[in-house]
Amino acid sequence: GMQLARDEAQADWTVVMDDDGRPAPGAIEAFRAMDLSEWDAIGAAVHHPDGRICEMNRPYRNPFWNPGAFLRTLARMPLGRGRAGFHLGDGDYRTGSPVVRVDMSSFVGLFLSHAALQRAGLPDPRLFIYGDDQLYTLQMRRAGLRIGFAPQVRFDHDTTALQAQGGVVLRPMWKVFYMYRNALMAYRVAAGPWFWPLVPVLLRKWRRKAGDYGPDAALFRTILDQAVRDGLAGRLDRSHDDILRLSRSDAP
């Protein structure tokens, strides 16, 4: 779709969204009313249909590129709230808040200028699901493109993903593989030379999430271990059929 928009359409801007995401009433009008002269891409404020902020679509500033966000993240890590140090806060979502620069925005309500599509290229389809938006927008920022978060441009994400104590709980289980393999690849881009010291911290945190999967905790760890091996190796050629087979068995 993005390739067709880039190569065939004559539109100045293109918006992408998930199949379970949609612009809220007035969102497109709010975007069209913006002064876009300083931006190459605009990320929407994504909410659940009941009004809650959708955590999986909360934009962030890369802490490895922003000293202030890095220090806030370190300060919150002992409390288990490191994520809050570099993701946008609830206050940034209030109507009337200014558009702020971000380094990552999700594909639920991401507006891309034609020039940005030309420069940034296309997402890697081998990622299939999860993390492709992180990698794409981080690479946009590395190329010098400007991404803004606009709280007045609201999207609804009717996702069934559940939030538990350790974060999002994914069903069906095959989604676990893509989430964590692709997250490692995004962290490699985000962290740069800090990536390898960061890996043990990530693995410890992720393995703790097994408790949120109840009777599937062992299966979660099995899938996670394979995802980590592939992610560290940069392997993107494992077939979806292989992942489906892995997700039906808790054997090592």
Q: Which two tokens stand for residue 243?
A: 């992942």
Q: What does the pLDDT read at residue 236?
A: 96
The pTM score is: 0.88
Q: Is beta strand 162-164 parallel, antiparallel or unpaired with respect to 100-102?
A: unpaired
Q: Which residues pair with 156 in a beta bridge?
A: 22, 47
Element (DSSP H or E) covering residue 132: helix 132-142
Q: What does the pLDDT read at residue 82?
A: 54
- The fold adopted by the segment(s) 2-159 is Spore Coat Polysaccharide Biosynthesis Protein SpsA; Chain A (3.90.550)
Residues of the chain with CATH 3.90.550.60: 2-159
pLDDT, averaged across the chain = 91
99 contacts 31 by C-beta, under 8 angstroms: no
pLDDT tens track for 158-209 = 987 666 555 789 999 999 999 999 999 999 999 999 999 999 999 999 999 9
Element (DSSP H or E) covering residue 156: strand 147-157
pLDDT tens track for 17-68 = 999 999 999 999 999 999 999 999 999 999 999 999 999 899 999 999 988 7
Report the pLDDT averaged over residues 82-95. Answer: 84
Instruction: Tell the residue number behind the tokens 């592939």, with chain if given.
Output: 230
Q: Is beta strand 147-157 parallel, antiparallel or unpaired with respect to 41-47?
A: parallel
